[in-house]
Amino acid sequence: MADMPDLLIQTLWDGFVAGMLYALIALGFVLIFKASGVFNFAQGIMVVFAALTLVGLHEFGINAWLALLLTLGVMLVLAVAVERVVLRPLVNQPDIILFMATIGLTYALIGLGEFIFGGNPKVMITEELFLPRGSIDLNVFGGFVSLQKLDIAAAVIAFVMIAALSLFFQYTRIGRALRAVADSHKAALSVGISLEQIWVIVWFTAGVVALITGIMWGARSDVSFALQIIALKALPVLILGGFTSVPGAIVGGLIIGIGEKVGEFYWGPLLGKGIEAWLAYMIALTFLLFRPQGLFGEKIIERI
Amino acid sequence: MFYREAGQFKTSYYADQAIFPILQDRIGVAVILFVAFTLPLVASDFFVGSVMIPFLVFSLAAIGLNILTGYTGLISLGTGAFMGVGAYACYKLTTIFPNVPIVVHILSAGFFSAAIGVIFGLPSLRIKGFYLAVATLAAQFFLQWCFVRIPWLYNNNASGAIEVPVRTLMGIDVTGANATPEVRYYLILAIVVGMTWVASNLVHGRIGRQWMAVRDMDIAAELIGIRLLNTKLLAFAVSSFYCGVAGAVMMFLWYGGGEAADAFNINQSFNILFMVIIGGLGSLIGSFFGAAFISSFPTLLKFGLPLIGIHIGSASVEHLTHFAIGALIIAFLIVEPHGLARLWQIAKQKLRVWPFPY
């Protein structure tokens, strides 16, 4: 039996990796929501945009590491531009208006990305960035499991990022300022926190997270605009974990990732395949009915 | 000077609440209707078929979404899917009952869509805002999956697409290859005019006021005795009804069949959301403005840019459209959150006091 793949554990592992990657995208959302109260629909396209910029710059003949630095620069410019053009004029507007503005931002970025880099899928530069290739076969009791080295790297990086960001939010001065801004723009302004600075910092951080996510997703498949649909999977993750919780993003990501893969593997054939497309949303929707604020979310108290 | 009532002569609430209080407005509406109904006599088939029909279909869908998002404040990203439900319901109905007039099918398809809309609207009591947006995304992806994976919905045919059968109304072909653009245009126009009239009565009446109260502050609305669940579900039902009819009309009278999974995907949902935002949240006339703007924008770019001497390929036009629409959304949200409808209102107000600005 030792030659047979162990399907359950393999599925669990696939789910785990997918969950980690969902968690990374969700992390970008959480960062911005936690630090500015903006529900950033554009996080998905930021992932694509960052990865495209990296690959595009490399195609122009720029060294991979230099391209990485330049991409970081582009994300900083993007953060400043978003703050100047979109957020500053919309201070104190209802959340839903800001949400719609980020949908507008999504389309603007899609157009811009297509305009500069073309609409065709590109191959991520994995070797140049020293990302591991190939796979390891592990013997477990039921059979063997094949683990992509890249996936292991992705999981490790995701875990480190998430740990670092939770510490950052909890224990640093800027982290506290970010949380203050999320609570109330007005109150934060009145105690001398610079809204502009905070927004640039947080959008830049989200841009960095987007870049890392983009590299990881891009290495597994191609870098293309189709990725942003996958990025929408981060929304159910957020709902499960709660919009304001960094650990919530990771737990939600794992639940969604594993639930989705296991669901597809065991029930997919019964229902006619492809239930991955909506299973995550259905899990989240059912969950919402029992605990509207998510696993780690803050309970919303409303007053008139 | 000409566009004004000469003093306040209203003696009844009925007159005071008139939707078009000024005579010129009433004449204007009559003229617009007259032009709309005589248009096919003067315009080319191309104009009627590729400009006016899409515009009317999108207007209907935009009215649907506007009722939900603009009037009731519930954001929805599942419009495309609800349109799809209408299209498939109409397809099933017309193949099961081939002898019933197609108009009946189109309108009853709306009821199926409304029922699905209510099901996905059920969580709206407990969840709101972004959470609800995600719930409607669930509808979008689930329904889209159903359209592809449930063969019963497209009658098990090999292509997996809707094949619109030929249906006649009073001896004239209205669907299928032989239906002329004029016939289809008139049918759509009649549906749009009728449903706009109904929508106008709904939003100006008791139900509309309840919707707006829920939008402005749902807890306060609950305190003054509006039943939240009923009101929200009604908004979902009416909105989905409109979207469903729009979807059925789109498939049967415009596309003439095809891959519904593509026509009703999430981009369609965004498209209609953009129409509502640019046209004006919470405004019926805004739905028309938005639909006209968004549905004609790519064409304008395609034919307008060469006129002013810029030559770009068709792929670039698409990219440019994405970018421009995204930028416009942001610009409108910042500068004029109430959209084109508000600009129209300002223009009318200025005209009303002209030539004395105060």
For B118-145, the pLDDT digits (tens) are 988 888 777 777 778 888 888 888 888 8
Q: In the structure, what pLDDT confidence band is assigned to residue A1 with cuts at 50, 70 and 90?
A: very low
Distance from B144 to chain A by nearest Cα, in Å? 9
Which residues of A fall within a CB distance of 8 Å from B145?
274-275, 277-278
- Note whether B135 contacts A285, CB cutoff 8 Å: yes
Note whether residue B9 is domain-resident. Answer: no
Burial B141-172 (b: 16+ CB within 10 A, else e): bbbbbbbbbeeebbeeeeeebbebeebeeeee
Query: Residue A103 has which token pair?
Result: 């949908």
Nearest CA in chain A to B330: A101
Between A and B, how many CB-CB pairs are < 8 A?
Answer: 133
Distance from B332 to chain A by nearest Cα, in Å? 9
CB within 8 Å of B307: residues ≥ 6 apart: none
For residue B212, the number of C-alpha atoms closer than 13 Å in the C-beta half-sphere is: 11
Q: Which amino acid is at A108?
A: A
Q: Which of A45, A41, A10 is nearest to A224 (CA)?
A: A45
Nearest CA in chain B to A87: B334
Picking from B123, B330, B333, the nearest residue to A288 by CB comes out as B123
A26 touches A233 (CB < 8 A):
no
Mutual angle of helices B53-65 and B181-204, in 10-degree steps? 20
Spell out where chain B has E strands. Answer: 168-169, 172-173
Q: Which of B235, B228, B101, B218 is nearest to B169 (CA)?
A: B101
Average pLDDT over residues A283-293: 78
Average pLDDT over residues A95-124: 84
Indicate if the pLDDT at residue A261 is higher than 90: no
Distance from A109 to chain B by nearest Cα, in Å? 7
Distance from B346 to chain A by nearest Cα, in Å? 22
For A225-260, the pLDDT digits (tens) are 777 777 788 888 888 887 777 778 888 888 888 888
Burial (CB count within 10 angstroms: exposed 0-12, middle 13-18, buried 19+), residue A135: middle
B129 touches A288 (CB < 8 A):
no
Q: Is A103 on the interface with B (CB under 8 A)?
A: yes
Note whether residue B20 is domain-resident. Answer: no
Picking from B144, B320, B329, the nearest residue to A100 by CB comes out as B329
Give the best residue of B126, B149, B322, B325 to mutate against chain A (max A CB count within 10 A): B322
Which of A:12-51 have CB within 8 Å of B? Answer: 39
pLDDT, residue B128, reads 72
What percent of chain A has a predicted confidence (pLDDT) above 70?
89
pLDDT, residue A2, reads 43
- Report CA B280 to chain centroid distance, whole Å: 12
Distance from B76 to chain A by nearest Cα, in Å? 11
Query: Residue B123 has which token pair?
Result: 């969580």
A147 touches A136 (CB < 8 A):
yes
CA distance B87 to B251: 6
- Note whether A289 contacts B319, CB cutoff 8 Å: no
Picking from B126, B145, B327, the nearest residue to A278 by CB comes out as B145
Nearest CA in chain A to B276: A100
* Strands B172-173, A143-148: pairing kind: unpaired
Distance from B324 to chain A by nearest Cα, in Å? 7
Positive or negative: CA dihedral B42, B45, B46, B52? positive
Tally of CB atoms within 10 A around A130: 9
Which residues of A fall within a CB distance of 8 Å from B329?
100-101, 103-104, 107
CA distance A238 to A258: 15
- DSSP H or E run through B38: helix B23-42
Average pLDDT over residues A269-279: 73
CA distance B90 to B249: 9
Positive or negative: CA dihedral B5, B8, B12, B18? positive
Average pLDDT over residues A2-12: 68
pLDDT, residue B231, reads 92
Note whether residue B203 is domain-resident. Answer: yes
Q: Is A269 on the interface with B (CB under 8 A)?
A: no
Note whether residue B31 is domain-resident. Answer: no
Q: In the structure, what pLDDT confidence band is assigned to residue B56 with cuts at 50, 70 and 90?
A: very high
Q: Is A116 on the interface with B (CB under 8 A)?
A: no
pLDDT, residue B358, reads 67
Picking from B123, B150, B322, the nearest residue to A114 by CB comes out as B322
- Note whether B326 contacts A232, CB cutoff 8 Å: no
Q: What are the DSSP calls for A58-80, one per residue?
A: HHTT--HHHHHHHHHHHHHHHHH
pLDDT, residue B61, reads 93
Note whether residue B16 is domain-resident. Answer: no
CB within 8 Å of B259: residues ≥ 6 apart: B160, B161
For B158-167, the pLDDT digits (tens) are 676 777 777 7
- φ, ψ (nearest 5 deg) of residue A144: -120, 155
Q: Is A100 on the interface with B (CB under 8 A)?
A: yes
Q: Mean pLDDT score of chain B, rounded to an integer?
A: 84
Average pLDDT over residues A93-106: 85
- Higher-pLDDT residue of B31 and B252 is B31
- Note whether A278 contacts B138, CB cutoff 8 Å: yes
A210 touches A109 (CB < 8 A):
no
- Note whether A108 contacts B266, CB cutoff 8 Å: no
Average pLDDT over residues B58-81: 91
CA distance A227 to A222: 9
For residue A206, the number of C-alpha atoms closer than 13 Å in the C-beta half-sphere is: 37
Which of the given ranges, A33-42, B103-112, B153-162, B310-319, has the highest pLDDT on average? B103-112
Beta bridge partners of A146: A137
Q: Is A85 on the interface with B (CB under 8 A)?
A: yes
What percent of chain B has a predicted confidence (pLDDT) above 90?
25
pLDDT, residue A276, reads 74
- Report CA A93 to chain centroid distance, whole Å: 25
Q: Is A273 on the interface with B (CB under 8 A)?
A: yes
Beta bridge partners of A143: A140
What percent of chain A has a predicted confidence (pLDDT) above 90?
1
Query: Residue B277 has which token pair?
Result: 């935002």
Q: Is A266 on the interface with B (CB under 8 A)?
A: no
Of A68-77, B10-19, B110-119, B309-318, the one with minimum mean pLDDT is: B309-318
- Note whether B323 contacts A90, CB cutoff 8 Å: no
pLDDT, residue A5, reads 61
Which residues of A fall within a CB distance of 8 Å from B223?
304
- CA distances to A66, B53, B310, B321 from B301, rounded to whole Å, are 37, 19, 10, 8
Note whether residue B33 is domain-resident. Answer: no
- Note whether B130 contacts A243, CB cutoff 8 Å: yes
CATH label of the domain that carries residue B128: 1.10.3470
Give the best residue of A43, A281, A302, A303 to mutate against chain B (max B CB count within 10 A): A281
Q: In the structure, what pLDDT confidence band is assigned to residue B259 with cuts at 50, 70 and 90?
A: low
Indicate if the pLDDT at residue A53 is higher than 80: yes
Note whether residue B39 is domain-resident. Answer: no
Task: Tell me the three state secondary structure of residue B169.
Answer: strand
Per the structure, the count of domains in chain B is 1
pLDDT, residue B27, reads 85
Average pLDDT over residues A162-190: 80
Residue positions counted in chain B:
358
For A181-203, the pLDDT digits (tens) are 777 777 888 888 887 888 888 88
- Note whether B145 contacts A101, CB cutoff 8 Å: no
Note whether residue B133 is domain-resident. Answer: yes
Task: Give the domain extent around B172.
Answer: 48-353
Query: Residue A139 has which token pair?
Result: 């013997």
CA distance B175 to B169: 9
Give the best residue of A243, A278, A287, A293 to mutate against chain B (max B CB count within 10 A): A278
Q: In the structure, what pLDDT confidence band is assigned to residue B207 with cuts at 50, 70 and 90?
A: very high
Task: Tell me the three state secondary structure of residue B80.
Answer: helix
Which of A:203-262 have CB within 8 Å of B? Answer: 229, 232, 235-236, 238-239, 243
Q: Which of B283, B324, B278 is nearest to B304 (CA)?
A: B324
- φ, ψ (nearest 5 deg) of residue B349: -65, -40
For A111-145, the pLDDT digits (tens) are 888 888 877 777 777 666 767 776 777 666 666 77
- Is the N-terminal amide bond of A121 cis, ω within 30° of 0? no
- DSSP H or E run through A138: strand A135-140
- CA distances to A91, B23, B146, B348 from B6, rounded to whole Å, are 42, 11, 58, 16
- Note whether B141 contacts A277, CB cutoff 8 Å: yes
Indicate if the pLDDT at residue B113 is higher than 90: yes
Q: Is A267 on the interface with B (CB under 8 A)?
A: no
CA distance A80 to A87: 10
Burial B192-209 (b: 16+ CB within 10 A, else e): beebbeebeebbeeebbe
